Chain A
Amino acid sequence: MTAIFIHPLTGFVGKTFVITEFELRKLRHDFTELITRALQPALWLLIFGEVFSRSGMMHTGNLPYLDFIAPGILAQSVLFVAIFYGINVIWERDLGIVQKFLVSPTPRAALVLGKGFSAGIRSLSQTVIVYSLSLLLGVKLNGSPLALLNVLIIVVLAATLFSTFSLIIACIVKTRERFMGVGQVLTMPLFFASNAIYPTDIMPGWLKVISHLNPLTYVVDALRTFMLADSTSTFGLDIDYAVILLTTILLVFIGARLYPRLAT
């Protein structure tokens, strides 16, 4: 029985990828999800973005408004899809799937991170959509492969972060009805208290403070820096990465502690 003596860390990483792999295999059997994800960012960019761009009401420094919000809409789209990820977990709990995974010797953190990671990879579809629309609308994008790679990493991390947050909510509320309520209550404040569609400079002081505690702000800042041809980071990319990574790790840790509650 050599299998029992697998190193905990390689075991954890391996199991995380097993969970991710099978979450992604489900996509193969149902493609519609990837298409419905395209709709919201298209509306925001084509309608909201166009109208506010024409009005000239938003002062976004040297960036045209459409350029300014393109990365913001990508971040928003990632948030809006990821924040409802927990509903799947509640569904799997009402069946007996969560219980069966919890009875297996898989590390709890691998179950949580594996699911989050699969949500991360799914959001790459929104990246493709927002990039296509941006090209169409004449947003000046940064085409360097390194910048693109960084955008992909930030998107995957951001979706992992917010879907894990969603999973934590699911572990606490446990029912679909309550979950939908809490999800609705959370999305708009997270979105509005960020720099996604307006700069934090024009916010009142109290909102500015809140926006600086909001991980979405750092996601948007990093995306804006990497995605656009001439944009500089407000907080510094090292700070952006540090906030996103540390928040994700913290949430996975909390999620791993709470996940077994779903079986009780």
Chain B
Amino acid sequence: MSDIVLEIKNLTRRFGAFTAVDSLTLSVNAGEVFGLLGSNGAGKTTTIKMLTTLLPPSSGEARVTGFSITTQAVGVRRAIGYVPQAVSVDGSLTGYENLLIFAKLYDLPHREQQARIREALEFMGLTADGGRLVGEYSGGMVRRLEIAQATLHRPKVLFLDEPTVGLDPIARDAVWKHLIDLRANYGTTLFFTTHYLEEAECHCERIAIMHLGKVAALGTCKELEASLGSGHTLNNVFVHYAGTALDSGGNFRDVSAERATAQRLG
């Protein structure tokens, strides 16, 4: 019972007549790496926004480390870290300053702040660049700084919305190496969305494929491949469960935001 850090029950979000997330039910174990897959507009970002208390659900409930996202939002906020899809560090501050402001906002004890920041910079391989303006960072460095910022207060659950969008393969590998280390050292649960199937295949313990706001398939990578019979790849699985309305998802704002992010990071 205490092993479940994230419990989602019938979580639903409507925008007018459109149901973005439709009665989603899921649970995620402590320390798990959980991937949420799906085409554009499948409801992944809306799900993450509800779980991080940015967006109130239309109905249903979710508990993060036991705190309700609807009635105990502050408890949830203290327990989680969030790396949004768009760039979330401030280019007009240094890397160090970007971390210092969050150390203060999360009430880290004053005497621990410097040590934590130093540790976070070192952990993400940014020690030499802490004093530079973030506006001068490369895309991979920006993402690593964002992860450092989101994990400074040692959250139990880290939510990442497309953490590697717009990064080259080398920067992607570096980001993942740091994420896996993070989990190994602090037991952080990783809940992330991605378009990159091979990422899900390499790093996830379990995968949920979302389609039109619902979970179309859930299980380990092997289970999902086996569910279609022998000789199938995750790619086949994805097309099978999420491919019927291919290219129908996502609106102009989603796509332009994603491309802008890719451009800034890349």
Check if A103 sits within 8 Å of B102, measured CB to CB.
no
**What's the Cα separation between A4 and B79 when bound, in Å?**
11
**What's the Cα separation between A103 and B69 when bound, in Å?**
12
**Chain A interface category by residue count:** 20 to 34
CB of B180 within 8 Å of the partner chain:
no
CB of B116 within 8 Å of the partner chain:
no
Name the one of A4, A14, A25, A104 contacting B93, with C-beta atoms under 8 angstroms. A25
**What's the Cα separation between A260 and B53 when bound, in Å?**
10
Give the chain A neighbours of B184 by CB distance below 8 A: none
Check if B54 sits within 8 Å of A95, measured CB to CB.
no
CB of B97 within 8 Å of the partner chain:
yes
Q: A25-B93, A25-B97, A103-B80 are in contact. Are A260 and B86 (CB under 8 A)?
A: no
Interface residues of B in 136-176 (CB under 8 A from A): 149-150
CB of A181 within 8 Å of the partner chain:
no
CB of B82 within 8 Å of the partner chain:
yes
Summarize A's interface: helix, strand, loop or mixed.
helix
CB of A177 within 8 Å of the partner chain:
no
Measured CB to CB, the nearest residue on chain A to B86 is A96
Check if A97 sits within 8 Å of B257, measured CB to CB.
no
**What's the Cα separation between A103 and B53 when bound, in Å?**
7
**What's the Cα separation between A60 and B85 when bound, in Å?**
57
CB of B16 within 8 Å of the partner chain:
no
Check if B257 sits within 8 Å of A100, measured CB to CB.
no
CB of A54 within 8 Å of the partner chain:
no
**What's the Cα separation between A104 and B257 when bound, in Å?**
22
**What's the Cα separation between A264 and B54 when bound, in Å?**
7
Interface residues of A in 172-203 (CB under 8 A from B): none
Proximity string of chain A (32-45) to chain B, C-beta cutoff 8 Å, 1 when within and 0 when not:
00000000000000
CB of A235 within 8 Å of the partner chain:
no
Q: A3-B107, A103-B82 are in contact. Are A22 and B87 (CB under 8 A)?
A: no
CB of A136, distance to nearest CB on chain B (Å): 33
CB of A224 within 8 Å of the partner chain:
no
CB of B254 within 8 Å of the partner chain:
no
Give the chain A neighbours of B90 by CB distance below 8 A: 22, 26, 97
CB of A254 within 8 Å of the partner chain:
no
**What's the Cα separation between A2 and B133 when bound, in Å?**
33
Give the chain B neighbours of A25 by CB distance below 8 A: 93, 97
CB of B108, distance to nearest CB on chain A (Å): 7
Instruction: Give 9 pairs: A residue, B residue, CB < 8 Å, sorted on A.
Output: A3-B109, A4-B107, A6-B107, A11-B107, A18-B105, A95-B88, A96-B85, A96-B86, A103-B53
User: Given contacts A4-B78, A104-B77, A106-B105, could you give 11 more A-B pairs where the C-beta distance is less than 8 Å?
Assistant: A3-B109, A4-B107, A11-B107, A22-B93, A22-B97, A99-B54, A99-B84, A102-B53, A103-B52, A103-B77, A104-B106
